Structure 1
């Protein structure tokens, strides 16, 4: 903006010196600092990311971070890891107010921004079932940790990120 005012002022003075009527008003600059007159566009003329695809990816990352923050508002989600036993409360549908309660052992966690999810496993009536639950789903109400390191009965920590080997183990490992 400051550069535009200066160039406009030089054009106006050149027109006056030639006897041309260019503009009858006088341009006065405020007495504030010159850095205050610079617009954000002129200030960021030399961006760090010059390649358009990288700049777009950076903007999408910022939008995704804002979306994750918005989805997390009003939800009570404790931090949990694979191997923990958790209790999940979620709505059956967007229109109903019925809340489903599910308990199980976390087999895996997938951290992908708004697409983050985890796999829950439990045994009911002698049959094992698994359920994939999205962390930032509008249906999810809360996640409560019942016991940490459930598969080792809390005595030692779980050293794997994906516990798919528990599918072949005895049902007692994943029955909550």
Structure 2
């Protein structure tokens, strides 16, 4: 790492201390929106991965919002981030938690708890998937699961008709 990168990291840590962020931690990030300097948005989620690259170090946060998984990548030394707070440390055995994209929502830090009946029905119906125009866009019965680089217009809702039942 170059001297300029080290000085930039030291300068950003003097204005705002960066906590020890590890994969699996539940964090709360206060981000100042660039369009409006007075509004601060709060993002809370689980750290899925961390990319160490000096001043360009990023973390990937995952959160379930309205039944849809949302992933956001934050550069931790960004001047727009006002505060990073670790809510809870969780021990995980992986460096990248990409399996959370397909797992049940029990590990997610959401406030809504899903019932066992809903989980059982989602396992029974997990074979009904429709793949969109890109491989990163998966549409299921319960809604769209689109990742970062997928355009929203590629995720179109569809219906499953009971083909085996007689009319």
TM bucket (normalised to shorter chain) is 0.5 to 0.7
Matches within 5 A, 1:101-120: 101-120=42-61
Structure 2: 5+ residue stretches without partners: 111-167
- Secondary structure at the counterpart of residue 70 of structure 2: strand
- Give the distance between the partners of 1:83 and 1:71, measured in 2 at CA: 24
1:32-83 Cα offsets, whole Å, 9 max, x none, are xxxxxxxxxxxxxxxxxxxxxxxxxxxx711110011112222143212111
Matched, 1:87 2:28: yes
- Give the distance between the partners of 1:135 and 1:172, measured in 2 at CA: 27
RMSD (CA atoms): 1.5
TM-score, with normalisation over the residues of structure 1?
0.59
Alignment match of 2:37 (pick from 96, 121, 125)? 96
1:136-168 Cα offsets, whole Å, 9 max, x none, are 11101111111111xxxxxxx211111111111
CA contact (8 A) 2:47 2:62 kept: yes
Q: Which runs of 4+ in 1 moved over 3 A?
A: none
Offset, 1:95: 5.2
TM-score, with normalisation over the residues of structure 2?
0.62
Larger radius of gyration: 1
User: How many aligned residue pairs are there?
Assistant: 110
- Secondary structure at the counterpart of residue 27 of structure 2: strand
Structure 1: 5+ residue stretches without partners: 1-59, 150-156
Greater helix fraction, Structure 1 or Structure 2: 1
